[in-house]
Amino acid sequence: MVIEGNNLYFANSNQGLGYLDISNPRNPVYIGRINWPWKETTKVALSGYNLFVLNSDLLILDVSQPFSPKLVAQFEGKGRVHCAIVKDNIAYLANSQCGLRLLDISNQQYPSEISRHPIPKASASTKRFDFLGDIAYLAQQNYSPLEIVSFNETYQPLSLNQYNIPNQTDHFVMDLQIQDSLAYVAMLLSGLHILDLADPAAPIEIGFLEVSGPNFLVVADSIAYVITPLEGISMVNISDPYHPELAAQLKLGGITMDVTVSGDYAYVAMDMKYCQIVNISDPYHPEVCGSIDGLIDVAAITSQGNYLYTAMTFDGGFKVFNIENPLEPQQVASYDEWKGARGITVRDNYVYLSSIAGFSIVEVDLSNTAIVQHDLKSPQDFILSQNYPNPFNCQTTIQYEVPKPAHIKVIIIDVRGKLIETLIDEKHQVGTYLAEWDAKGLPSGIYFYQLISSKGMQSVRKMILLK
């Protein structure tokens, strides 16, 4: 809801955009509405005379004439975003219906579409892709397995070729990754194919290894980690790309969803419930050495430096773990907003989250555990979440949401109302934040944590310290 002069504009769900004349605040007059069939209007924002309306698309209306808003631009949000790659200030999105979409993210808060490369035919679907310089290799299901596109001119993508792997009728490319001018392609009905990209527009297959039903892969140095949902993870020695060799196969006892590699350890998302930790220092003898439990619905996983990022499907958002000690990951941050996560990419302090709803950019500052959203959605209310873990032994994390700039205090009190500690006492911008409390030196028992805002909102929750 926004107010401009004597006019109020509000998002009215399935009824679209409504607007009122509030020149007499005690007797507002309903002027009218604009409805977009089959789309739910969720948010409006105003800049000058431009009204931004979010349903499944982003619409821009000219409201210089308040009684007759006019549509001046539309940013489509069609289809699911399966995965994303960020290069320089451009985000490339694999979209199920639109092909490959390019967003200018030089201003992270206001990403804008600059061009797109459409799918080659209506029944095709862009699922995965990777780059060799300015050339992208697109995995198109129900079409020629690889489409080769030049992005030398960002605003005018140029299709160079469609590549079919010789003697294969398998049109289901599940994943691909490019390393050192070689493309590693996981195909559902055949296995792992290795392509030489010396001539980027004319790949040549140089190696192949039969793997049953591969779904994802990660290439790290001389090993390709190939994920098969029901068979677990296959370690393939690719030091000789002409003769790839199965080093080991590790069955993990569940449905394998995704994998990421950090140093001598692989983190494998399992059953949408937990994450297995595998020691891969000897790829011929991998060993399960731990797990991260309680993830419930982890669908995608990645890592950067000493941090592991897990994307959630049903609860939405993602969790961040410190893996400096690989066998004892510690959750340090979480973000719970977008539903239906499909993929996650991390670059510096930004997380790029692909989901069935679209594409989200989230800033994660792990130096102070603040998480700030940079997309079209923001917290609607002051929210104080239950601490995690609870009960806890010494250390716990408190999450809270701030919908508008305000001075925030978070304090700890005991059952008698005595102030134990002030955790936070500072000005906040809009966003989701985390506060860590270390109860070392305090006795076991019930404690309370309270959120107090300068906007008059207060909230309190109970937690249990159990040593």
Show the 3-state SS of the chain: CEEECCEEEEECECCCEEEEECCCCCCCEEEEEECCCCCCECEEEEECCEEEEECCCEEEEECCCCCCCEEEEEECCCCCEEEEEEECCEEEEEECCCEEEEEECCCCCCCEEEEEECCCCCCCEEEEEEEECCEEEEEEECCCCEEEEECCCCCCCEEEEEECCCCCCCCCEEEEEEECCEEEEEECCCEEEEEECCCCCCCEEEEEEECCCCCEEEEECCEEEEEECCCEEEEEECCCCCCCEEEEEECCCCCEEEEEEECCEEEEEECCCEEEEEECCCCCCCEEEEEECCCCCEEEEEEECCEEEEEECCCCCEEEEECCCCCCCEEEEEECCCCCEEEEEEECCEEEEEECCEEEEEEEECCCCEEEECCCCCCCCCEECCCECCCECCEEEEEEEECCCEEEEEEEEECCCCEEEEEEEEEECCEEEEEEEECCCCCCEEEEEEEEECCCCEEEEEEEECC
Per the model's pLDDT, the better-predicted residue between 118 and 18 turns out to be 118
417: pLDDT strictly greater than 60: yes
Distance CA 96, CA 205 (A): 27
238: pLDDT strictly greater than 90: yes
Report pLDDT for 22. 66
Cis amide linkage into residue 389, ω under 30° from 0: yes
Q: For the chain, what are the domain ranges? A: 2-75, 81-373, 383-465
Report pLDDT for 378. 45
Distance CA 249, CA 231 (A): 8
Residues 6+ apart with CB under 8 A from 311: 298, 299, 300, 301, 317, 318, 341, 342, 343, 344, 353
Report yes or no: 376 and 77 within 8 Å, Cβ to Cβ.
no
426: pLDDT strictly greater than 50: yes
81: pLDDT strictly greater than 70: no
457: pLDDT strictly greater than 80: no
Question: For 105-164, how does the pLDDT look when each residue is reduced to its tens digit (9 = 90+)?
Answer: 777 556 677 887 877 665 566 778 889 999 999 887 666 668 899 988 777 888 898 888
- Span 210-222, average pLDDT: 85
Report yes or no: 264 and 223 within 8 Å, Cβ to Cβ.
no
380: pLDDT strictly greater than 60: no
Q: Which of 54, 52, 10 is nearest to 31 (CA)?
A: 10
pTM of the model: 0.58
Cα radius of gyration rounded to whole Å, the chain = 25
How much of the chain exceeds pLDDT 90, in percent? 18
Q: 383-465: which CATH topology?
A: Immunoglobulin-like (2.60.40)
Question: What are 298's strand-pairing partners?
Answer: 312
Which CATH architecture does the domain made up of 81-373 adopt? 7 Propeller (2.130)
Handedness of CA 404, 405, 407, 408 (dihedral sign): positive
CA angle 405, 408, 409 (to 5 degrees): 180
- Span 93-112, average pLDDT: 72
Distance CA 89, CA 403 (A): 28
- Span 249-255, average pLDDT: 81
Report pLDDT for 392. 85
Q: Which of 98-102, 105-109, 234-238 has the lowest mean pLDDT?
A: 105-109
CA angle 262, 268, 270 (to 5 degrees): 160
